[in-house]
Amino acid sequence: LPGLGTFVACLVLPLEIGILIGVGLNVIFILYHAARPKITTEILTTSAGNEYLMITPDRCLMFPSVDYVRNLVTKHSMRQNVPVVIDASHIYGADFTAATVIESLLNDFAARSQLLFFYNLKPSICALFETLSPAEFVVYYQEEQLDQLLKDRNYEQKKTITV
């Protein structure tokens, strides 16, 4: 799309202006993709039978994308009243803005008594998030640990009975 826009701009306008428009279009596309990471969500079940919502961002948490990620996590977590696990396997970088947003996200979850965990968070990012000393910041690295974390926090899945 940026290439087509550049081509048309170069045909209609002077060549220098057309190239500048092409550069501008490319920058806009790069910024848009940086601000909108792909996020997958799925309901999974632990070995003990507890359901949880797994949210997996596909890239780093930086200033342009962190509010978008927070809004999606909040939206999906409010639909499902189950513990939420953010799979940080693909998060290879974060900045201070991300740390402050994670802190406010943890506070929001604590206010509505919903559990939030981080799975497979890189040690450098974990250290960054811990600089703000957020309450209830829990990281685990093995899938089997989730059942114990839920048990430690007295989590009991609410069973729905249909009559």
pLDDT per residue as tens digits for the range 122-137: 999 999 988 887 778 8
pTM for this entry: 0.80
User: Does the pLDDT value for residue 24 go beyond 90?
Assistant: yes
| pLDDT in the model for residue 41 | 92
Amino acid letter for position 22: G
Rounded mean pLDDT of 26-49?
Answer: 87
pLDDT for 61: 81
Inter-residue contact 91 to 60 (CB < 8 Å): yes
Band (pLDDT 50/70/90 cuts) for residue 144 is confident
- Give residue-wise pLDDT tens across range 43-79: 999 888 889 999 999 887 877 788 888 899 999 888 8
Q: Residue 91 in contact with residue 120, Cβ under 8 Å?
A: no
Listed in sequence order, the DSSP H helices in 36-111 are 63-79, 96-111
Fill in the DSSP letter of residue 94. B
Location of structure tokens 């002077």:
14
Q: Which residues of 122-141 are buried (b: 16+ CB within 10 A; e: fewer)?
A: beebeebbeeeebeebbbbe
Mean of the per-residue pLDDT values of the chain: 87
Write down the CATH superfamily of domain 39-152: STAS domain (3.30.750.24)
pLDDT band at 162 (very low <50, low <70, confident <90, very high): low
Q: Where are the domains of the chain?
A: 2-35, 39-152
